[in-house]
Amino acid sequence: MSQQDTPYNLPASSTATANTRVDYLIVGQGLCGTLLSWHLFKEGKTFVVIDEDRDNSASKVAAGIINPVTGRRYVNSWMIEDLYPFAQQVYTEMGRHLQSQLILLKDLIDFFPSPQMRDAFVNRILENDTYLHSYPDQNEFNTNFNYDFGCGLIKPVFMVHLTRLLRGWRKYLKDHGCLFSERFEAAAVTVTDTGVHYRGCQAERIIFCEGIGAMENGWFRLLPFSAVKGEALIIRCAGLDSQHIYKKGLSLAPLEEEDNFWVGSNYQWTFEDDRPTEQFYAATVLHLKHWLKVPFKVLDHRAGIRPAAIERRPFVGFHPKQQRVGILNGMGTKGTSLAPFFAHHLVQHMLHGIPLQEEVDVNRFNRILSHS
């Protein structure tokens, strides 16, 4: 990409070779690592990203849905009024930079699984909720779906092309010499009073955005992580309107390939490994057969494990005993909306001294981390 193509350009000194000196080392190029490096890039800082590009990382399995409401009572997601416009701005800007559309405006058709859920939805509308709306023609979807208790409309809802985002940014990093495409080796890190050293590369700080790997990280493994496994099917189903995301227990979200949809996800709190399971496959196919009136074909089955925080707030900031070692993690199931905001929040803290929000500052676990 030439200088005319973009308002930002990586500093020439950021080439990832032996004896490189940069401002930051970033471990992981999932959603957090991608967005953190993007915000540092905009600030003109130099960095190297270390990532081995695993196919089953949680960021590559997720659908990238940004839904403003959550739970069985349809309450607004935490901080959604701030997160929504910021996420839209960041993904739109990154899309312009990568010359690729990354974020799409959608709406969500919520098929009520029970009268109780329908009543909860209606009650929230009566409370003047911003995002919930009655759907004018309750029979509009009868041709393609089975549903007994009506449907509601949630809008606006966004979808982010996460695969396109991660691949596009990875290519940009590689083309500009800012990527170590390899498995990170913790034993190769040395932290001293003068900086952080990793295989001939020296930086002022190292920031871990390694997803589930943080649960074995020597500095941060004592944080109250909660590993959550998710699974999804990719199906082909002709005839469904791709402007909508559909939900009835599971979500059915359109993909960029015509007639392809992502179906998921369940959240498993206990599991044996990160591989797809026969149980999810069988249960989801059965669910689709009862829900859909049109034929479908399963194309793929994916699974991944994401690190969430038990208290459902991200981990952002620096180790209380080692201020050169930081973390951006624990985004959980809302990562697509949370990560743009808190990656920027961390950069503003590092570069401009803006205090971290107490709810996300990793130093709320000062006593626990002091033992790591």
Under the banding of pLDDT at 50, 70 and 90, the label for residue 80 is very high
* pLDDT at residue number 3: 34
pLDDT digits (tens, 9 = 90+) for 199-208: 989 999 999 9
pLDDT digits (tens, 9 = 90+) for 45-74: 999 999 998 766 667 778 899 999 998 889
Domain boundaries, the chain: 3-60+163-224+313-369
Average pLDDT over all residues of the chain:
91
- Write down the pLDDT at residue 180: 94
Query: What mean pLDDT comes out for the span 88-98?
Result: 98
Residues 118, 112: Cα–Cα separation, whole Å: 6
Instruction: Give the count of beta carbons closer than 10 Å to the beta carbon of residue 322.
Output: 15
Tell me how crowded residue 234 is: count the other CB atoms within 10 A of its CB. 17
pTM of the model: 0.92
Amino acid at residue number 95: G
- What is the structure's pLDDT at 268? 80
Q: What is the pLDDT of residue 8?
A: 40
Tell me the mean pLDDT in the region 70-95. 95
Q: What are phi and psi of 52, to 5 degrees?
A: -95, 0
Q: What tokens appear for 329 in the block?
A: 């993690």
User: Taking 90 as the threshold, does the pLDDT of residue 307 lie above it?
Assistant: no
Tell me the angle at which helices 335-352 and 80-98 cross, rounded to the nearest 10 degrees. Answer: 80
pLDDT band at 19 (very low <50, low <70, confident <90, very high): low
Amino acid at 53: D
Class of domain 3-60+163-224+313-369: alpha beta
Of the pLDDT bands very low, low, confident and very high (cuts 50, 70, 90), residue 371 is confident
pLDDT-derived band at 357, boundaries 50, 70, 90: very high
Is the pLDDT at 227 greater than 70? The verdict is yes
- Nearest by Cα to 312 from 228, 211, 222: 228
Instruction: Quote the tokens at residue 38.
Output: 């993007």
Choice among 6-15, 85-94, 204-213, 324-333 with the minimum mean pLDDT: 6-15
